Amino acid sequence: MTADIFSEAPALGAPPPRSHVGLTIVAQDPTVLGDDGRIVTAPAQVPWARLEDGPRTARFHVVDYDVSTGALADPAVLPSDVDRFADADDATLCSDFAFHAQQVYAVAARTLATFESALGRRLQWGFAGHQLHLVPHAFSEANAYYSWNDRALLFGYVPDEDGSAIYTCLSHDVVVHETTHAVLDGLRRRFLEPGLPDQAAFHEGFADIVALLSVFSLRPVVEVCLGPANADGRISRAKVDREHLRRSVLTGVAEQLGDVLTQGRGALRQSALDPPPPGWADDPAYVAPHRRGEVLVAVVLDVLIDIWTRRLQPLLAPESGHVPRSIDRPRAAEEGAKAAGHLLTMLIRGLDYLPPVEFEFGDLVDAVMRADEEVAPDDDLGYRDALLGRFERSGIVRPSGTGHDLLSGRFVPRYHGLNFAAIRTDGDEVFRFMWQNADQLGLNTAYYTHVESVQPSQRVGPDGLVVTESVANYVQMLELTAAELEAFYGAPLPVHLDPATPLQVFGGGTLVFDQFGRAKLHIFKRLDGWARQVQRLEYLHKTGLYDRSGRLGFSYGEARGQAFAELHNSDPGSGEAW
C-alpha cells in the first residue's frame, strides 16, 4: 500500500502544479469582431482542476445532449496542460462542439471563481449535488436557463438566415448570466420563492450585472468597444466620453441572439441604457422581472461609468499647458477593466449581508455599503459615495430599521452555555444563541424558526486587511388563511382575495459573527411586518401567482425547477426571450 501511495507522486523535474490554466473563450459573442475582423477571443484564467472527458471536474460536468433530436455527442477531450483552441479560426469556434464544451466550462468556472474569491469561501449549489451540469446544445429554442430539477444550465440554439445555427452557449454574457442564477440559488435559495416584485427582478438584474461587468473585465473586449486605434495605439479622447461609453457595445447583453429575436434591434437589454423614470416602482410597465431588473442594471452601469471616467482623469490631465487630444487605448481599456472588477467585487461581497427572504432593492444598497465598509473603511476612491448617490437618484434608498449593529454597546448578548467555535459553523448552536437573545434580537419565538445555513467567509480588502466572519441565515414561517390574517393580526385583505385562501408568510434574517464567535450584525425582515406582508400578498394575488392547490405565497417545492424557464419567456413588448 505504501508503494502505491508513493507511485502517485509527481516525477522529479515535473512542472509544478498551477493554480489557474488559460483556456480560449469567445470573449463576448461571435458577432463582436476585433481590429483584424475576427471573432474577439480571450485567454480566460480558469482555476486548475483535474479534468475528465466532457469536460468534467468536481464542480462541473458538460453533457452534450440535444433533447430536440435525441442526439448525445461524445464527451469533449480537453487536455489539462494545453489549450487546443488557442489558434483556432472562426469557423472552428462556431462549429466545433468540443470548443462549445470548453466555452461553457471555462466561462462557468471563471464565474464561480469570481464569486468565491469575493466571498472568501467555496460555494454550494442550491440543489442536492456537487456538480452543475452544463448542456451546450440542449434544445432547438431561443432560450437558455438554469434548471434546479436537472441540476443544470441548459443552452438552446436557433437557425440563422444562412442555414447555420446561432448557439447561446457561445455568448459569454448568456453563460455568465445563467451561471449567476445557479450561484444565487445556492446563496439565497428562497429568493426563488414567491415574494415582493423586486425579488424575481433581482435574480434577473443581478445576473445581467455580473455578465456585463465580467465582459468589461476582459481587456480585449473593452479595446474593441473603444474603437480602432491609430498607429501609435491611441484613440480620440471623445471615445472615452461618458455618452460614448454608455452607448458602446458592452452595455448590451447577448448581441447576436438579440439581433435574431428582435428583428435587428440589437441587444436584449437596451432599456437598461436609460435611467428609470420617476415613479417607476409603481409603474405597471416595471412589474415584469426583466424590466424591473433593468433598473438595477441601469444604475450599476452609471456607477461603472462614474468610476471609469474618474480613473481616466489623470490620463487626460493637461501636460505643460497642453490638453491631450488622444489617449492610449490599452491603458484606457485597462482602467475600465479595473473599475469593472472592483465594482463587481463590491456587489458580490454584499450578497452575504442580504436578508434571506423578502428582498427589496434597497436591501442590496444597504448590504453593499455594510460589506464594503468592513474591508475598505476609508473608501479613498469614493466608490461607495458614487454607488449610493446613483441609487438614491433612482429612488432606491437604504432601508431603516432592518439592520442592527450588535457591537454598538446597546446590545448586550448572552453567551452562557454557548460554544464559540461551534457558533461559527453549527446551525443548532446559532439557534441556541437566538433563543437566549430572542428579546434583544426582536424575535417572536411563537413562529416556526429554522437556521438554514452557517457559512464562513474570509475577505481581503484593497489594503490587505483580512476580515474573517461567519454568516448565518434563518427563516420564520406562518401558515394561516386570509380570514385569519385579517382577524388575528388586523392586516387588511387584498381586494377580491377569497378569505378562505391558504397563505404562507415569511420572515427571516442574517446574523454575522466575527472570528471569535461574537455577534456583530443582525439584518432582518420581521414576519410580523404586516404592511410588507399585505404588499407581498397583493402583488402575488394581482399577478395570479397561486400554486396548483390554489394557495398563495407558498414555497414552490419541486415546481421551482422550471421557474427560470418561465422567467425567460418573452414578456409582450419586452423584446426578450431568454
Cell 460536468 sits on residue: 61
- Whether residue 554 contacts residue 505, with contact meaning beta carbons closer than 8 Å, is answered with no
- Whether residue 335 contacts residue 315, with contact meaning beta carbons closer than 8 Å, is answered with yes
Cα dihedral 550, 553, 557, 563 sign: positive
Report pLDDT digits (tens) over 475-508.
999 999 999 999 988 888 888 899 999 999 999 9
| pLDDT band at residue 460 using 50, 70 and 90 as cut-offs | confident
Residue 267 has a pLDDT of 45
Residue 150 has a pLDDT of 94
Q: Which residue has the higher pLDDT, 164 or 60?
A: 60
* pTM for the predicted model, two decimal places: 0.89
pLDDT of 569 strictly over 90: no
What is the H or E stretch that residue 62 is in? strand 60-62
Residue 301 has a pLDDT of 87
- Whether residue 571 contacts residue 290, with contact meaning beta carbons closer than 8 Å, is answered with yes
Report pLDDT digits (tens) over 154-168.
999 987 777 788 899
d(CA 351, CA 523): 12
d(CA 367, CA 543): 29
Pairing of strands 403-405, 519-525: antiparallel
Residue 568 has a pLDDT of 58
Residue 394 has a pLDDT of 92
- Whether residue 358 contacts residue 507, with contact meaning beta carbons closer than 8 Å, is answered with yes
Cα–Cα distances (Å) from 328 to 218, 230, 307, 311, 488, in that order, read 17, 10, 18, 13, 68
CATH code: domain 19-187 is 3.10.170
Structure-block grid coordinates of residue 541: 394575488
**Among 220, 250, 173, which residue's Cα sits nearest to residue 36?**
220
Cell 464567535 sits on residue: 517
3-state secondary structure 96-118: CHHHHHHHHHHHHHHHHHHHHHH
Report pLDDT digits (tens) over 402-421.
889 998 878 888 999 999 88
- Whether residue 54 contacts residue 63, with contact meaning beta carbons closer than 8 Å, is answered with yes
Q: Collapse the DSSP code of 25 into the 3-class scheme (helix H, G, I; strand E, B; otherwise coil) and give the result.
A: strand
**Angle at CA 304, nearest 5°, toward 224 and 26?**
35
- Whether residue 170 contacts residue 94, with contact meaning beta carbons closer than 8 Å, is answered with yes
Q: Collapse the DSSP code of 211 into the 3-class scheme (helix H, G, I; strand E, B; otherwise coil) and give the result.
A: helix
d(CA 411, CA 251): 45
Cα–Cα distances (Å) from 553 to 201, 506, 533, 543, 546, in that order, read 17, 9, 10, 12, 7
High-pLDDT (> 70) share of the chain, %: 87
What are the residue boundaries of the structural domains of the chain, listed by start? 19-187, 212-393, 403-545
Q: Collapse the DSSP code of 554 into the 3-class scheme (helix H, G, I; strand E, B; otherwise coil) and give the result.
A: coil
